[in-house]
A and B are shown apart, each in its own frame.
Chain A
């Protein structure tokens, strides 16, 4: 059997127990998703369901398409084909009785605000203070009043353990603090799904814990989260499901502790032997 073949479609889909709906707010449904950059097909046939409140960790070798998948879900990349439903809505399209129609810009932006994204490089706006970073989306996009937005921003700063840091510019904050402001900035839009693309990879080791604590707290509150990370401890302790990607396919999916301890697929075994 060639090593790079697609996983057998007959594989029983994994469903973590005790979670919410699989359609509607806080869910992600992906069917036959294909995404290529020019001749390079990065995502070949992605099928996955994320339930409301699920914390799903994505792992896989570099270049396997983890970031691309998250970016597709956030609408930062246009998909080539397949179905991509987030929060119970087709991303960028609306389905009526007879066919799919592309959504208006405004509706697409509304869908985006309901999905939060946290980047490896934080991507805070350096020209704004921490507080302004958190209020800008609220006042501009959600049209909340300035006072309410500030109030919310202060609450969120407290929640990520950065009370009183509102007047600091990103350059005055440590990496870990910046990433927590970035999480607060996303949360300010009241998303129902949060995507984290290697949120701790750019951090000094001693700062990783603070960010993971915030993510853990968010998971406890029932946020649907998709996380690519090298933090296997986080996967073991916090995640409901683990997803191993290689060469544009989802090779294996299961309970994080089981998969990490006892991977079924040879590709997963190979990969875990290297990283664990």
Chain B
């Protein structure tokens, strides 16, 4: 088994090194080129921003999904199904072309003359469309993750809250959300890493992310494969950097329940003022 693996690895390494069409010198040259780094930076902040919006929105949708009020619940279910049931690429292009559907956006109070019109094309740039599209799509997935977390809270916990006379909102804040965290946080970490790669889709809207910036270069130089390798190297590096804290977090939540058990702490209570 070892031998087979070694032979395969050696084979791949051999062709990587000896095949001149990989243009390793080109790769080295462009890896830290200003355009590429600018694209990388946009990819990173867009990933973070999208995940931030999606987490907050996803939490909101999950709370709605768990609502006792039927219309609210139906709204949440529709949201989740529509955004998960259609390709994210199509959603992105739709947001990019939203001006065709709503040429003007009116800011103001609905059904009253208060407010003013804004030109949609001016308001929604390619980057905004990309952020909106990815966030709304990701929020649907986050909502399902958060819902899974909510469902992992034992029924007895909620009954204990009921018995104390807690309202739905109090139970949500003090019992459900804190107890759902151990399942939600690691899953969110996974989503973050997926999102890093998913942002490459925004290149179709002409947003200058990592992929779009290497495309820009190879459109000029025809060094397609080396430039794509440049992009892959960066995606790989950032993924690995992100998965390190991710594995730490997972290990933490894996252990926390076990580590506490059977390790009695000294019975001193910190005096409070």
Q: Do residues B175 and A76 form an inter-chain contact, with CB atoms below 8 A?
A: no
Q: Tell me whether B164 and A189 are in contact (CB under 8 A).
A: yes
**CB closest residue in chain A, given B170:** A140
B139-175 CB mask vs A (1 if < 8 Å, else 0) is 0000000000000001011011011111100100011
Of the candidate stretches B93-101, B242-250, B263-271, the one touching chain A is B263-271
- Evaluate contact between A125 and B160: CB separation under 8 angstroms: yes
Cβ contact of A165, chosen from B159, B162, B267, cutoff 8 A: B267
Q: Pick from A9-17, A116-124, A252-260, A261-269 the stretch touching chain B.
A: A116-124
Q: Establish whether residues B269 and A164, one from each chain, have CB atoms under 8 Å apart when the complex forms.
A: yes
B179 touches A127 (CB 8 A): yes
Do the beta carbons of A167 and B178 come within 8 Å of each other?
no
Instruction: Note all chain B residues with C-beta closer than 8 A to A85.
Output: none
For residue B162, which residue of chain A has the nearest CB? A76
Q: Residue B29 at the A interface, CB < 8 A? A: no
As a 0/1 sequence over residues 97 to 124 of chain A, the CB contacts with chain B under 8 angstroms (1 = contact) are: 0000000010001101101110101011
Q: In the complex, which of the residues A109, A112, A127, A169 has the most CB atoms of chain B within 10 Å of its own CB atom?
A: A127
Number of contact residues on A: which range applies? 35 or more
Cβ < 8 Å to B, chain A residues 40-78: 74-76
Q: What is the total of A-B residue contacts with beta carbons within 8 Å?
A: 85
A84 at the interface (CB under 8 A from B): no
Please, which residue of chain A has its CB at the minimum distance from the CB of B181? A127
A123 CB contact (under 8 Å) in B156, B165, B264, B269: B156
Contact with B along A163-182 (1 / 0, CB 8 A): 01111110110000000001
* Chain B residues whose C-beta falls within 8 Å of the C-beta of A19 in the assembled complex: none
B260 is an interface residue with CB less than 8 A from chain A:
yes
Docked CA distance A132–B137 (Å): 38
A119-B156, A119-B159, A169-B260 known; A113+B265 contact, CB < 8 A? no
Chain B residues with CB under 8 Å of A109's CB are 165-167
Contact B167 A117 (CB under 8 A): no
A182–B163 Cα gap in the complex (Å)?
A: 12
Cβ contact within 8 Å between A150 and B160: no
Determine the residue in chain A with the shortest Cβ distance to B163.
Answer: A117
- If the complex has contacts A112-B163, A171-B260, are A164 and B268 also in contact, measured as CB distance less than 8 A? yes
Contact indicator A76/B164 (Cβ below 8 Å): no
Within 8 Å of chain A (Cβ to Cβ): is B25?
A: no
- A76 CA / B162 CA spacing, docked (Å): 7
Q: Are A150 and B164 in contact (CB under 8 A)?
A: no
Partner of A140, one of B166, B178, B263, B268: B166
The reply to whether the CB of A87 lies closer than 8 angstroms to some CB of chain B is: no
Q: Which 10 A-B pairs have the closest CB atoms?
A: A113-B165, A137-B164, A123-B160, A109-B165, A123-B156, A127-B178, A117-B163, A171-B260, A112-B165, A166-B269
Apart from A119-B160, A137-B164, A167-B268, what are 18 other A-B pairs with CB-CB below 8 Å?
A: A109-B165, A109-B167, A110-B165, A112-B163, A112-B164, A113-B165, A119-B156, A123-B160, A125-B157, A136-B164, A140-B166, A141-B164, A141-B165, A166-B269, A167-B265, A167-B270, A186-B163, A186-B164
26 sampled A-B residue pairs with Cβ under 8 A: A75-B162, A112-B162, A112-B164, A113-B164, A116-B163, A125-B160, A125-B179, A126-B179, A136-B174, A137-B164, A137-B166, A140-B166, A140-B170, A141-B164, A141-B165, A150-B272, A164-B269, A166-B269, A167-B269, A168-B265, A168-B267, A172-B260, A172-B263, A172-B265, A185-B160, A186-B163
Q: Which residues of B contact A (CB under 8 A)?
A: 154, 156-157, 159-160, 162-167, 170, 174-175, 178-179, 257, 260-261, 263-265, 267-270, 272
